[in-house]
Structure 1
Amino acid sequence: MQEFQKPRAIALGYFDGVHLGHRALMERAVERARQIGGVSAVCTFDVHPDSVVLGRQVPLITADAYRREEIKKLGGVDEVIFIHFDEKMQHMDWRDFIHKVLIEQFHAAWIISGRNNRFGYKGRGNAAGMAEECEKAGIGYDCVDDVKMDGIVVSSTYIRQLISQGDMETAARFLGHPYTVTGVVEHGRKVGTSVLGVPTVNLRLPGEMALPPYGVYATRVLVGGESHIAATNIGVKPTFLDSGTPTIEPHLLDFAGDLYGRMIHVELHKFLRPEKQFASAEELRAAIEENVRQTRAYFAE
């Protein structure tokens, strides 16, 4: 039997951030796929439905370019299926979505969704309707209960709120992993090296991502299978009157090497201080030295 014809156990959702609630769905998909001798999959959309329905960008926890990679890495599923969400999909009847898309097109033999999942035109499809239609079609269905921490439902919306407040430690608890910015190292103005004696690497912040407060963070940078701690600035570098375009600049500690053109992952672990404009390079250098000390102390714990 060819791979695309195998029965699939499909977990539904947008999976922004791949938090603990998402992982519960994917774990069930992996379990059901094993039972039916099929393939575990996530079925998601290429753009956030609210951005089409409401006409405004939804700030994302995971950048578009890396969502497939993050879903597979953290969820352990065999496949990630992206469906284009446009006006036609927006107006599709929820029953058609189940039968024509999930079952006929993608060979769903088992479907997994969350209790509050809404789908189809005007969100009229829900868990009860899904259960009824799956039974009619003779396939399996699981409705997975919400995952809660501290009495709070784990959700991308709540995690975005934590990120916007700079509470990276609580965000990491709800995600099950640190909030991470991924990108390719670019050439900057080299102010860190030439003026401050503090070499940094420069990344452009993906425009669609949920931005934490501008400031300095204790971070961990992953590159080429290695991990390095770093004091990282996010913002517009007001002391040197940069262009105003926000960037993320890790200063890797105890590292010497050229990372230009390399893809790196920057995990934000703790907010250290807000970004501010200093009166001189000397004042900024002293603040960076303190941030380096704080970063070392944080990871030493």
Structure 2
Amino acid sequence: MLGCRGSRISHHFRECDLHFHLPTTFRFGYSGLQPQSFQLSFPCPLKPCWGGLTTIVANHNRVQSRSCCSATPPKPRGEIPLLFNSLSQQEDEREMISDGVSSVAGGIVALGKFDALHIGHRELAIQASRAGPPFLLSFVGMAKVLGWEPRPPIVATCDRKRVLSSWVSYCCNMVPEEFHVEFSSVRHLSPQQFVEKLSKELRVRGVVAGENYRFGYKAAGDALELIKLCEEYGMEAYIIKSVMDKNSANVTSSSNPKERGQVSSTRVREALAVGDMAYVSELLGRQHRLILKATNQERFAVEQHKVSAPKSCLLNLAPKEGLYEKCSLLLGQENVVQCRVVIDKKFVHVETDYDGGLSDIFGAPNSQFLPIEFGDSRT
């Protein structure tokens, strides 16, 4: 516990063996607080949450270990909800407001841009869940305000709850929830004003951020300032090391000067751009799911063993044009059919040996979604 003016800040650091190995020694110096440095050394990787997750808490120069929770191991693939509107099983642990939507008040919010929901984002959610009800806080409307070119999301909006539900066994048996803030409402806030908003308006109990996180107008604040300001406003601050990509040579990210080998949404986009689905799966911690939605103007073309959909039906980012083997066509919550996918300039074609009648499923007027999961093939 680092104490200044009677406030409390805990800095939790976590290391897991996720094939993206983190350094086993961390050193941090705090300027502006009590001048000090400390070193944390971990003799062995920490286990996932279902094995009795260990939390490392740094209090001045004292390190203690404690058990966080005991949750159930991950469910087999067939038991993970396939519905797009998967619901949290932890509503009773969250403060609810009158219309039934979870409030972020009293929760622990992870800060970042959660486009890909990759394993680095999952690590932030894990840390948040070890301190309280976990939320992912991100900004909406940034592209419009900053004049960026629109681009498709990596995860379809209708599929995000399913992905977050799949993290339940990592997050102390809680499903992280998303909380969105309009970017226009915080764009001109100084670092102090932003933290004040978290404390007084949103009433969060603590925050989690990566070591490279920046915030406030023109990204003026860094992780050390976040720690200092959270202390002043009586909130906990948890700063974690970046999850590094051991395969950083696979995709270069020279276009982004902030890339230093950590897992990022930029790396996921670049891996999709070259069609390396095995690499995409490693970065995401799951297979990439592509979702297409039929409209009154654009329908699916269905044959006995083939479904074709115009690219205008895409709800999220597709990999590069080419042939992809070892894919799965999702025909409902339980029925998963092996297939191969061909992507050309205008269409996404799904070919399968399924004899159950694709026309009955995807040719019906009320059939809107075509969900496909990509295996570990490379085009």
Counterpart residue identity of residue 329, structure 2: V
> 1:42 touches 1:77 (CA, 8 Å); kept in 2?
no
Per-residue deviation, residues 1-35 of structure 1 (Å, max 9, x unmatched): 953385111111121111110110001111100xx
Cα distance in 2 between the residues matched to 1:208 and 1:126: 34
TM-score, reference length from structure 1 = 0.73
Residue in structure 2 matched with residue 23 of structure 1 by the alignment = 122
Specify every segment of 5 or more residues in structure 1 that has no aligned partner in the other structure, as ranges: 34-38, 237-245, 274-301
Residue in structure 2 matched with residue 248 of structure 1 by the alignment = 348
Q: Describe the shift of the 1:270–1:132 C-alpha distance in structure 2 as closer, same or farther (beyond 3 A).
A: same
Q: Describe the shift of the 1:271–1:137 C-alpha distance in structure 2 as closer, same or farther (beyond 3 A).
A: same
Residue in structure 2 matched with residue 138 of structure 1 by the alignment = 234
Count of aligned pairs: 251
SS in 2 for 1:14: coil
State the shift of 1:189 in Å: 4.3
Counterpart residue identity of residue 263, structure 1: F
Q: Map of 1:73-92 to 2, 5 A cutoff?
A: 73-74=166-167, 76-86=174-184, 88-92=185-189
| 2:148 is the alignment partner of 1:55 | yes
Q: Describe the shift of the 1:266–1:136 C-alpha distance in structure 2 as closer, same or farther (beyond 3 A).
A: same
TM-score, reference length from structure 2 = 0.59
Q: Map of 1:164-179 to 2, 5 A cutoff?
A: 164-179=273-288
Q: Map of 1:1-301 to 2, 5 A cutoff?
A: 2-3=95-96, 4=103, 7-33=106-132, 39-47=133-141, 49=142, 52-74=145-167, 76-86=174-184, 88-100=185-197, 102-150=198-246, 152-185=261-294, 187-190=299-302, 193=303, 198-202=305-309, 204=311, 209-218=316-325, 219-225=327-333, 226-236=335-345, 246-257=346-357, 258-260=360-362, 261-271=367-377, 273=379
> 2:290 touches 2:371 (CA, 8 Å); kept in 1?
yes
SS in 1 for 2:148: coil
State the shift of 1:201 in Å: 4.8
State the shift of 1:93 in Å: 2.0
Cα distance in 2 between the residues matched to 1:251 and 1:140: 52
Cα distance in 2 between the residues matched to 1:44 and 1:255: 44
SS in 1 for 2:186: helix
Cα distance in 1 between the residues matched to 2:104 and 2:137: 16
Cα distance in 1 between the residues matched to 2:146 and 2:194: 17
SS in 1 for 2:275: coil
State the shift of 1:73 in Å: 3.8
> 1:164 touches 1:213 (CA, 8 Å); kept in 2?
yes
State the shift of 1:211 in Å: 3.8
State the shift of 1:41 in Å: 1.1
Q: Describe the shift of the 1:228–1:208 C-alpha distance in structure 2 as closer, same or farther (beyond 3 A).
A: closer
Per-residue deviation, residues 78-126 of structure 1 (Å, max 9, x unmatched): 421111223x4322222222211x2223221110011112222111122
RMSD over aligned CA atoms reads: 2.7
User: Runs in 1 of length 4+ with deviation above 6 angstroms?
Assistant: none
Cα distance in 1 between the residues matched to 2:193 and 2:105: 21
> 1:220 touches 1:267 (CA, 8 Å); kept in 2?
yes
> 2:104 touches 2:179 (CA, 8 Å); kept in 1?
no
Percent of aligned positions that are identical: 22
Q: Describe the shift of the 1:5–1:84 C-alpha distance in structure 2 as closer, same or farther (beyond 3 A).
A: closer
Counterpart residue identity of residue 251, structure 1: E
Cα distance in 2 between the residues matched to 1:269 and 1:51: 34
